[in-house]
Structure formats: C-alpha cells, structure tokens
Structure 1
Amino acid sequence: MMIKKYLTTFLLSASLCSTAMAETILVTIGQAGQVTDQQLEAAMKAAPFATQFPSLDEKDQAYLRGDMLLRLAQAEALYQEALTQKIPESDVFKQEMSNFKTSLLAQRYLLKLGKSIQVPDDIAQQLEQNTQNNSDALKAARSAYIAKRFNALKTEKLNALRQQANVKTYFDHLDNAQADTVLAEGKGFKIHYGDFVPNTAISVDNARIKQKVEQWIELILMAKAAQADGISLDNQLQDYAHNLAIRLLLAQQEQQWIPDEQVLLDYFQQHPKIGYIPERRQIGQIVLASQKQAEEIRQRIMNGESLFTLAGLYSVDPYGRQRSGDMGWLTEGSGSPEIEAALKQLKNDEISPIIKTKKGWHIITIVDRKPAEQKNYNAVKDRVKQKLLAEKMTAYLKQITEKHPLQWQIPQHTPH
C-alpha cells in the first residue's frame, strides 16, 4: 500500500533526525479533524507491542508508527462522519455518556475514599508485633485492615448520602410497572422501570430489578458526591465521547450491512472456504547446520535414537532445541514451501528425508495429525460475520476517507 510505504519512509527519517517534534500536526482529516505527534506517541505507548517496540530495528519501528498513524487518521475520519450524521445528538449517545460519567465519577469517589483511610499508629504497632516485622505479612495485615475499614466507611458514607438526597424507593410498583414507572427517586434524580427494561413485554425477575436499582442509586449518589468534591473528568469524557461516536456509527453500519441472518448465510454459501479447517499436525523437528551433519543425525535416528533427544542436543533452531524438537500443533500451510511439500508426503511417525531451507537442514516427523474438515455454517457463524464485516469495512473506510480527505502535514526530514 503506497500510503503505508510513504509513512514508513517519513517516520524512519524522522526517527533519525536529532530534533524532536513538539505538538506537530501530522495529518488533517476533512474540515476539522487532525492527528498530532503527541496523539501518535500516546497510541504507540498503549499498543500491545509497546514493550517489544524498543528492541525492534528502526525500519520496523517506523513501519509500526506509520501503520498506527494511518489507523488514527482513519478513526478520525470515522469520527468526522459520525459528526456529519449527528450521532452525538442522538438519545442513545447522550444516555451512554451520562451512564459512563456517573460510573466513572462513582469510581473516582471510591478511590478518594480509599486513599483517605490511614492505619492509626497504635494499630500499626500492634500489626507489627503480630506479624513479627515480617514485611509481606505486615503488608497483608495492613491491606486487610484498610479493606475492612473501607467497607465500613463506604456503608457509612452511602447511608449519609441517602439521607441527604432523601432517597425513596417504590418497589411495590414492580408488579404492574410500565416504562415510565418511577422505581426510585431522590434529590436531582429519578429512576424509571424503562431504564432497565426497555421492552416491557419481556418478563424480568423483580429481585434482579431491585438489585440493579439499588446499585444505580449508589452510583448516582457517589457521582454527585464526587462532583461536589470538585473531581473533574473532562479529558476522559472527551476521549470516551470520541470513541463512542465511532462505535455507534459502526454499529449503525453493521445493522445496514447485516440486517438479518440470511445475509450471513448467503455470504457463507458464496465463500464456503470460510468453513474449511486445514489439517493440523503435531510436528517433531531437528535443524542442523550442515548437510553432512544432517546425514549423520538422520542415520542415527534411523538406527533407533530419538529425534527429540537429538534435537535437544544438536538443533540450531533455538526454539526447537529448547523444546527438544517438539514444535507443537502446526496448521497446514504455515511452514515454508519446502517443509510443506515434505509434510504432504509424510506418514505418521515416519522420518522425512533431509530438507534444505534458508534456516538449515531439517529432519521432521509427524507425531499426530487432525485431518482437514469442512465446518457447516452454524459452527463458523462468528467467523463468517467477521469476514463479512472486514470486507465491508475496507470498502467503507475508502468511502469515508474520500468524503473526509486525509491531508498529510508531515514535514520532510533529512537523516543525520
């Protein structure tokens, strides 16, 4: 892909430049979207490969940066489309944002409450005596004390908050509840039956509803207390709103792409290979450094010595040597062409001829195998959906980035 190649070239040269960039806009998207170098760095630090990233060479690092930058730009294009479709103005968006804010505020309130608990000096001395200054035991004892005190303090605070808010519950209304039936209320809030059961035609356990209402009362009270304490969530809410708008846009698109299961069935019939499960083989292997050594080792195996024992002693493949030649279960087609060609001719427990690859001279055997099979639709329904969505998403991203064009602002650097 030319864009990725261009980005890789730029980011390699930028990484070699001695002058660091500071809050530089790398790409603008449509009329108002942008991705900065700081956003890119934050995304790189949060990526699954972050811990391995420093050990990669500069070219691989540049490629990963380029790929991440393109993903961020595409995500921003999706956000711009969500704004165009006024998704942030929808009731679903507003309700989700309200729920998220309440939950996060309550979480912050509990964190602050936990940090307020201190172990009194007399209790600390007693714990030290009881644990005989064993650091691990003392740490566990202090944690247990704080946890017990936290639960008591939480109950105490919630009771006080309930009284302040004059909370009332109306669980006697559950038997004949409608969507607008009020189940609980307090200063500044009301909780309706429809908040938990959008479809009142569905039978729901009343005990479960009571439990959810009580949980939500606690969240609301703690959230209000957090706001009164001046706890701010501006950055987190902004990030969540951005991601939520994209998720709702894609959920809306998915509903259009897959309005019913018949679409998936038709797609599976057009792409039956989705249900094909290739043969899996449990492989034993030894890799030698020269053809002469391989011939000597193979003869020893044919004379009765164990390939696995010899692999643990002589294999030049670090992974195989560490595992004494046990390569585990490998899927048909996952090996090099030379290895795959040999495996197709090999029976279980048979020793292969010597196979030459760029890694050395191989001797392999198949310990066991699971034959290939063709799964029916029901067995691979999730995979069918993933394949169809991936196909639709590729075309959709192309459409969206044409509607909200990506304009690369990255400067050209000369490597030092």
Structure 2
Amino acid sequence: MKKRLSYILLSAFLLPAQANQVLVTIGDSGRVTEQELEAAMLAAPFATQFPAMDEQDQAYLRGDMLLRLARAEALYQEAIASDIQQTPQFKQEIGNFSTTTLAQRYLYRLRRQITVPDDVDQLFKEEFSGNGDALTAARSAYLARRFSEAKQVALKSLREQANVRTHFERLNGQPSKDSLLAEGDALSIRYGDLFANNDREIELDAIEDEVNEWIDLMLMARTAQQQGENIAAQLAEYGHDLAIRLLLAQQEQNWIPDEQTLFDYFQRHPDIGYIPERRQIGQIVVATKQQAEQLRARIVAGESLFELAGSYSIDPYGRQRLGDMGWLSAGSAAPEIEQAIDGLPNDRVSEPIQTEKGWHLVMIVDRKPSVRKNFAAIKDRVRQKFVAEKMSEYLREVTKKYPLKWQIAERDE
C-alpha cells in the first residue's frame, strides 16, 4: 500500500498541478488542497534547498508533506470529537492568542500613522547628503522614537477612557487568589488570574509589570476590535494547530505517566543508547566512471575535492555546498557507499562508487567515534523514540477512524 501510494504521488507530482484541486479527503469533512500543500512546502525547513533537488526527490518530499497534512487533519477531527476545544487550557490559549494578535494590529495601525515630517526629512537629506544608509537609519530612528512616544500617549488615554485603577498595595502581606489587583470598565485582574493554567512562576516584584502589560494588551485588543480589525482567519488556523497540539500532549501524558515507563522501555531497547560513528563527508557525483577516475587522479595529485565538486558535481545540493555534505551517521548513506568507505582513512578519496545517482568520489574529513550512553544521558532521546513508536500506532488508529481517500489519479502526459 505504501509503495503504491508513493508511486501515485510521484507520478502525479511530476506532472503540472491542476488549479486548486482536492488532493485527499479525510473522514467526512476534512480535505487537503493543492494550495494548502504549496503553502506547507514554502514554510518547510528544506524550502531553500528544494529548487536545487532533482524532480524525483522533489516529488517524494511533496508526497511526504501531503501525507503529513492528511494525518494532521485526521488528528484535528479526533481532537474535535474529544472536545479539546472545551478544555480550560484551549480556551485560555486561544484567548491569549486573540488578545495578542489584536493588540499587534492596534500597534501596527498606530505605527502607520507616524511619518517623518517634510521639514525634518529635508534636514536629514541635507545632513546625510550622499550617504543613503545614514539617511535611512536617521529616518528609522526618528520613527522609532516618535512611535514609542505615541504608544505611551495612546495607552495613557486608553486607561483613562476605561477608568483603570490598580491596587498593587494588596500584594503586601499574603494576597489571596481573589485579591483584586486591577479593575476598570469590563476589566478586572485578580491575583489568582496570573497563575491560572500557567506553569511558569512569577516573582512577586515582577507582578506589577505583568499586570500592567496585561492591562495594555487587553485595552489595545478591545480598541482594535472597535476599529473593525478581523482576525477570524488567523484565529481559525491557530485553533486548528492548537487542538492537535493539545490532543497529542494529552496522549503523551497518557503514554508516559512517569519516568519509570521510559526506563523500562530503555531496558527493552538498549540499542537506543548506542550512538553510531559520525563522519564529516565530502563528495563529488559525476555521470561516468571515466570522469570519476580522472577527477580522482587530480585529487590524489593534490587538487581539492571541494573545489572540484563546485565545478563538476551533478548533484545540485552537493555542488551548491562545494561537496560538503556535513556530518552523517554511519549507515545513513547508500549501501554501495557504506561498503566502499568502511575503513577508509581520513582525508583519502575513495575509488569511484556507482549508485543510481551516478559515480561518487567520497572523502571522510573527520570522525566522531561511536559511544554507548546510559539512560540518564539520553533520557530525552528515549522519550522521542518511545513517543514515535506510540505515535505510529496512534496514527493508524486515527486514520482508520477517519480514512484518507486519495484524489490523485495517475494522468496521461
């Protein structure tokens, strides 16, 4: 099934996209479209390297991203069915996001109202004539200073309009959770509000700053709403991701009720503590064995593999990086390469190695030896492995409950 899906995804993504077609439906209501896939690809960590990859690698990455999006949509449907949106944590986080985003909109609108007056700009032009960078910096510094001043004036006005009053004297002694620290029109902040669903600790001397910041955010957010700012789209996107995140956090807590669970897992899988040898690799890939042998002779004679890779390698990623492939774990390369470089001394170029991508010349620049670590040293890694194993099982359950139906048909060229 997985191989068949990979083939369909590969054949489809090597062909031109068709408008904003639905690529996959999930359960009764979920779907992933061409536009959503493209947006995810542009936001991916590999986005800057993507254009340099060959078509087949690009197609596989797009297929993998599509599968991830489809599974995320299945998880979202499960989160909704589990009433994640009704939990206090969801409501607080979505509320915080809404307030912060609206406050940012208010500040953005305020910032746009500030300009450099013509007379001031003329003085800057005269003072920094012929120095464009200094002129730009002077304008930016002026706008930043004026914005800071305007922000303080605006916040003072908003507080006055809302009749805001603070009672920080109540922090002296032993404030209770019901101690009112700030109040105003449709605004109240109690001592207990600062710690509701909040894992972090707040130092007593920082509480005043915390309350004042909270007041400012709430007032700016309220004003932005009154000004007609609409963040429904951002709120929906954030709520979608938040529901999935909270669902998975809930599942992880169920899977790992205590540290003993992780230790027992490590005892059953001691190889997790084995960190294989890591090698810093240099590589050239060319089309023919004859060219590989010629380049190898030049390297043996003293030329740099890395300089030659920048001129001759047919691997776009490797050529862009002048043959520097970074640090790779033993066993992560193609079997043909692993076999050929097993025992290869540092700084010695290999014999030509043939793979489906061409003929390779490989050099190990440096090594980090393999080690075996105890549980305490790799507890985070054990957690990652354990969660990944549980997640695979969980995803199978969820996608069985909300089936993925692929809409990608193999099309004639």
> Quick check: 1:280–1:332 contact (8 Å CA) kept in 2?
yes
Alignment of 1:181-260 (within 5 A): 181-198=179-196, 204-260=202-258
Q: Work out the CA distance in 1 between the residues paired with 2:321 and 2:65.
A: 35
The reply to whether residue 99 of structure 1 matches residue 96 of structure 2 is yes
Q: Work out the CA distance in 2 between the residues paired with 1:225 and 1:101.
A: 13
The reply to whether residue 415 of structure 1 matches residue 395 of structure 2 is no
Alignment of 1:391-410 (within 5 A): 391-408=389-406, 410=407
Alpha carbons of 1:277 and 1:290: their partners in 2 closer, same or farther (altered >3 Å)?
same
Alignment correspondent of 2:13:
12
Alignment correspondent of 1:275:
273
Q: Work out the CA distance in 2 between the residues paired with 1:45 and 1:286.
A: 28
Q: Work out the CA distance in 2 between the residues paired with 1:370 and 1:137.
A: 48
Alignment correspondent of 1:142:
139
- TM superposition shift of 1:380: 1.2
What whole-Å deviation, never above 9, does each CA across 1:135-185 have from its counterpart, x for those lacking one?
A: 221111111100000000000000001111111112222231222322212
Report how many residues are paired.
402
> Quick check: 2:10–2:59 contact (8 Å CA) kept in 1?
yes
1:171 to 149, 168, 171: 168
Alignment of 1:313-328 (within 5 A): 317=313
1:115 to 92, 112, 117: 112
Letter of the 1:280 counterpart: R
Range with greater deviation from structure 2 (24-33 or 133-142): 24-33
2:25 to 7, 25, 28: 28
What whole-Å deviation, never above 9, does each CA across 1:368-393 have from its counterpart, x for those lacking one?
A: 54322111112211111111111111
Letter of the 1:104 counterpart: T
The reply to whether residue 262 of structure 1 matches residue 260 of structure 2 is yes
Alignment correspondent of 1:372:
370
Q: Work out the CA distance in 2 between the residues paired with 1:41 and 1:323.
A: 26
> Quick check: 2:165–2:182 contact (8 Å CA) kept in 1?
yes
Larger Rg: 1
Q: Work out the CA distance in 1 between the residues paired with 2:273 and 2:67.
A: 32
> SS at 2:412's partner residue?
coil
Q: Work out the CA distance in 2 between the residues paired with 1:372 and 1:311.
A: 26
Alpha carbons of 1:201 and 1:272: their partners in 2 closer, same or farther (altered >3 Å)?
closer
Alignment correspondent of 1:46:
43
- TM superposition shift of 1:413: 6.2
Task: Normalising by structure 2, report the TM-score.
Answer: 0.84
Alignment correspondent of 1:71:
68
Alpha carbons of 1:340 and 1:392: their partners in 2 closer, same or farther (altered >3 Å)?
same
> Quick check: 1:29–1:404 contact (8 Å CA) kept in 2?
yes
What whole-Å deviation, never above 9, does each CA across 1:76-132 have from its counterpart, x for those lacking one?
A: 111111111111112211111111100000011111111110111111111111111
- TM superposition shift of 1:46: 2.7
Letter of the 2:137 counterpart: A
> SS at 2:31's partner residue?
strand
Q: Work out the CA distance in 2 between the residues paired with 1:320 and 1:64.
A: 18
Alpha carbons of 1:46 and 1:335: their partners in 2 closer, same or farther (altered >3 Å)?
closer
Task: Normalising by structure 1, report the TM-score.
Answer: 0.83
Alpha carbons of 1:127 and 1:341: their partners in 2 closer, same or farther (altered >3 Å)?
same
Range with greater deviation from structure 2 (133-142 or 158-167): 133-142
- TM superposition shift of 1:323: 8.9
Alpha carbons of 1:286 and 1:190: their partners in 2 closer, same or farther (altered >3 Å)?
closer
Alpha carbons of 1:261 and 1:312: their partners in 2 closer, same or farther (altered >3 Å)?
closer
Alignment correspondent of 1:386:
384
- TM superposition shift of 1:27: 2.9
- TM superposition shift of 1:195: 2.4
What whole-Å deviation, never above 9, does each CA across 1:222-252 have from its counterpart, x for those lacking one?
A: 1111111111101001111111111111111
- TM superposition shift of 1:51: 4.1
Q: Work out the CA distance in 2 between the residues paired with 1:135 and 1:26.
A: 49
- TM superposition shift of 1:292: 6.8
- TM superposition shift of 1:26: 3.3
- TM superposition shift of 1:297: 6.1
Q: Sequence identity, in percent?
A: 51
> Quick check: 2:341–2:362 contact (8 Å CA) kept in 1?
no
What whole-Å deviation, never above 9, does each CA across 1:271-316 have from its counterpart, x for those lacking one?
A: 1222212223456788984687589669xx6xxx65xx45467675
Query: Superposition RMSD on alpha carbons, in Å?
Result: 3.5
Q: Work out the CA distance in 2 between the residues paired with 1:254 and 1:72.
A: 20
Alpha carbons of 1:321 and 1:312: their partners in 2 closer, same or farther (altered >3 Å)?
farther
Letter of the 1:213 counterpart: V
- TM superposition shift of 1:257: 0.8
Letter of the 2:84 counterpart: I
